[in-house]
Structure 1
């Protein structure tokens, strides 16, 4: 299965609590941090919810 790299490019300060929890669930805590997650529907849905805060790089 393919993986996807997710990078936090914007701070969660001022974002909604639901969006903060989504970013935390993705494993991101600091701006500039990159995590590798499996490319599945659940992760894609989480990325879609916080697409203004993260950048996606297909691996």
Structure 2
């Protein structure tokens, strides 16, 4: 599976507390902040929970040979 780039596009102000904690657990601190995560069922579940606050893109793996 290819890695996923998760970018926060909306604020967590006025969000449910569990959504705020999920965005923080994804490593996102502010709008336009991005992190790359492995594509696992756990990550997909977290992303699905806050799908209205984030944008997700697949990124190509880079071989470091």
- TM-score, normalising length: structure 1: 0.97
3-state SS in 2 of match to 1:19: helix
Determine whether 1:57 maps to 2:57: yes
> Matches of 2:12 and 2:47 in 1, distance apart?
14
| Root mean square deviation, CA, Å | 0.7
**1:10 alignment partner in structure 2:** 10
Q: Which has the larger radius of gyration?
A: 2
Q: TM-score, length-normalised on structure 2?
A: 0.88
Q: Which runs of 5+ in 1 are unaligned?
A: none
Counterpart Cα distance in 2 of 1:2 and 1:40: 10
User: How far apart are the structure 2 equivalents of 1:2 and 1:38?
Assistant: 7
